[in-house]
């Protein structure tokens, strides 16, 4: 731990000197040096099934008479920890609005292990959780009311019948003032309406740090862990720990932990060809790592898409047969305007002629024209083809520009092995089988198609020429 949490030698010297000089002033202490009693010693319901061994109770007057508090029995399950409630009788039944005074006497040494007098504020803090039927009205430490020190926790408005208050409601208090070396008296005043008066006291499960605790600050990045005593912290906040020392003088520390975020930012950006974004002008994924002022690394990922200016293209198949139709599709764009004012992404042509379209996307507008000619309208297949990559007769396929309702073309070698098949009239055979070029020879083909509700089967031979 940091040095300011350690016991300094000077403190030990002053402590020993104070014991020698002040011993007469604190002769009423039965113990000169020692820790205070643990808060669990103040839990009610201790010592037997009938009477509580430590708590006493008086009715209506703080001056008494006081009698041993009685452990209550037969309480419903709705009472928190219902086996530890105490009252003036096992049932706690009474009539009218009354005050009940619960008293606990105990001893404190003259000094704690750090040499601090128990007469001083904050040397001893008693942290308790209180449950009551009906409510806690006041708490006295050695005859001094503590409500001014508790920030308005008590008394509740209309204490005999507080609004929305139940026997399970907890009142947590931290009593750090008005204790003294030697004999001490704690009195808790209960305000109760008919028919049951009762109280349960237990050590606080989550005690606040003492007012004189040391403070420390630390920073980490999101995803990291900060070890604070037996705590492994991952969230910003205030945390309290007590660190034991071999000397018996504990260190109380409040940690203010700040967790700085690590930002993983994703930017999806589209630009036009010729533009740039953050220095990039080509489509791709770009990642940048940077360090914040807190020392935490963050990343920014840019998903960049470069959109070309519109370039409509109709392809090479621009012929139509009489009685047939041709679909003109210029590509994918944001909008279309054809020569006749239609705005579909395609245009159905049924006769030869000049057709035009204007297309737009985020990067601009472009025009295109196409001349549709009268096509070869019979069903023809070539008798030979030369797949040499010169752009002429490179594929074996149907030669006509017809639309089919169903189409299947298959090619076989002389051993009857199928080397090619297509159900798309525009897809032809390139003379390969499983990626390997076949040698010059003759192949047999079969084609079955359906056109204008008529099914036709054809066959023939084709020579592959290298």
- Tokens, residue 326: 């041709």
Q: How far is CA 67 from the centre of its chain?
A: 55
Q: Is residue 58 domain-shared with residue 168, that is, in the same domain? A: yes
Domain count, the chain: 5
CA separation for the pair 374, 99 (Å, rounded): 110
Q: Examine the domain organization and report whether 44 and 169 are in the same domain.
A: yes
Residues 253 and 285 both lie in one domain: no
Both 113 and 48 in one domain: the answer is yes
Distance of alpha carbon 445 from alpha carbon 418, whole angstroms: 9
Number of C-alpha atoms within 13 angstroms, CB side, residue 10? 0
Task: Say whether both 192 and 47 belong to one domain.
Answer: yes
Rounded CA gap, 39 and 201, in Å?
10
Residue 42 DSSP symbol: G
Residues 115, 171: one domain?
A: yes
Determine, yes or no, domain membership for 23. no
Assess whether 192 and 229 both reside in one domain.
no
User: Residue-wise pLDDT tens for the chain (466 aa)?
Assistant: 333 222 232 333 333 333 333 333 444 788 999 989 999 999 999 866 789 999 999 999 999 999 999 999 989 888 999 889 999 999 999 999 999 999 999 999 999 888 899 999 999 999 999 999 999 999 999 999 999 999 999 999 999 999 888 888 999 999 999 999 999 999 999 999 999 999 999 999 888 888 878 899 999 998 899 999 888 999 999 888 888 777 667 788 889 999 998 888 899 999 999 999 999 999 999 999 888 777 888 888 999 999 889 999 988 778 887 777 888 999 999 999 999 999 999 999 989 999 999 999 999 999 999 999 887 677 889 999 999 989 889 999 998 777 888 999 999 999 999 999 999 998 999 999 999 999 999 999 999 999 878 899 999 999 999 8
From 173, 203, 233, give the residue that closes a domain: 203
Same domain, 325 and 355: yes
Domain that holds residue 358: 319-374
In a domain, 324, yes or no: yes
User: 107 and 230: one domain?
Assistant: no
Residue 5 lies in a domain: no
One domain for residues 269 and 254: no
* Contact in structure between 139 and 187 (CB atoms under 8 Å): yes
Same domain, 135 and 219: no
Q: How far is CA 357 from the centre of its chain?
A: 51
d(C-alpha 314, C-alpha 327), whole Å: 9
- CA 338 vs. chain centroid, Å, equals 52
> Cα–Cα distance between 15 and 123 in angstroms, integer?
14
The CATH number of whichever domain residue 125 belongs to comes to 2.60.120
Same domain, 103 and 193: yes
Cα–Cα–Cα angle for 201, 203, 209, rounded to 5 degrees: 130
- Asked if residue 269 lies in contact with residue 304, where contact means CB atoms within 8 angstroms, the answer is yes
Question: What 3-state DSSP class applies to 355?
Answer: strand
């Amino acid at each position: 731990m940091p040095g300011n949490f350690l016991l300094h030698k000077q403190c030990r010297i002053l402590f020993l000197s104070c014991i020698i000089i002040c011993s007469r002033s604190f002769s009423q202490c039965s113990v000169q040096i020692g820790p205070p009693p643990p808060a669990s010693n103040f839990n009610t319901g201790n010592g037997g099934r009938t009477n509580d061994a430590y708590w006493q109770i008086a009715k209506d007057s703080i001056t008494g008479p006081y009698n041993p508090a009685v452990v209550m029995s037969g309480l419903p399950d709705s009472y928190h920890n219902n086996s530890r409630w105490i009252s003036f009788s096992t049932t706690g039944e009474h009539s009218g609005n009354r005050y009940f005074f619960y008293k606990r006497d105990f001893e404190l040494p003259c000094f704690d292990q750090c040499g601090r007098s128990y007469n001083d504020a904050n040397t001893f803090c008693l942290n308790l959780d209180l449950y009551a039927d009906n409510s806690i009205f006041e708490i006295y430490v050695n005859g001094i009311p503590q409500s001014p020190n508790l920030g308005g926790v008590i008394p509740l408005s209309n204490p005999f019948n507080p609004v929305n208050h139940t026997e399970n409601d907890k009142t947590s208090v931290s009593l750090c003032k008005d204790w003294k070396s030697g004999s001490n008296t704690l009195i808790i005043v209960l305000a109760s309406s008919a028919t049951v008066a009762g109280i349960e006291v237990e050590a606080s499960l989550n005690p606040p740090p003492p007012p004189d605790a040391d403070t420390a600050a630390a920073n980490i990045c999101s995803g990291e862990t900060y070890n604070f005593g037996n705590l492994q912290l991952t969230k910003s906040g205030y945390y309290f720990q007590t660190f034991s020392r071999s000397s018996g003088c504990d260190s109380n520390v409040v940690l203010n932990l700040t967790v700085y975020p690590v930002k993983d930012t994703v930017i999806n950006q589209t630009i036009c060809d010729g533009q740039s974004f953050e220095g990039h002008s080509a489509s791709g994924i770009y990642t940048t790592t940077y360090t914040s002022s807190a020392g935490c690394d963050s990343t920014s990922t840019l998903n960049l898409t470069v959109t070309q200016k519109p370039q409509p293209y109709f392809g090479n198949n621009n012929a139509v047969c009489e009685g047939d139709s041709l679909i003109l599709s210029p590509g994918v764009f944001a909008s279309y305007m054809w020569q006749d004012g239609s705005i579909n992404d395609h245009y159905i042509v049924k006769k030869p002629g000049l057709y035009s379209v204007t297309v737009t996307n985020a990067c601009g507008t472009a025009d295109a024209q196409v001349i549709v000619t009268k096509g070869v309208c019979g069903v023809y297949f070539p008798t030979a083809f030369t797949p040499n990559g010169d752009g002429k007769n490179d594929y074996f396929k149907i030669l006509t520009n017809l639309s089919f309702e169903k189409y299947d073309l298959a090619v076989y070698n002389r051993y009857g092995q199928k080397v090619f098949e297509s159900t798309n009239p525009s897809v032809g055979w390139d003379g390969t089988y499983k990626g390997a070029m076949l040698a010059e020879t003759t192949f047999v083909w079969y084609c079955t198609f359906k056109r204008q509700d008529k099914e036709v089967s054809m066959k023939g031979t084709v020579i592959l020429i290298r």
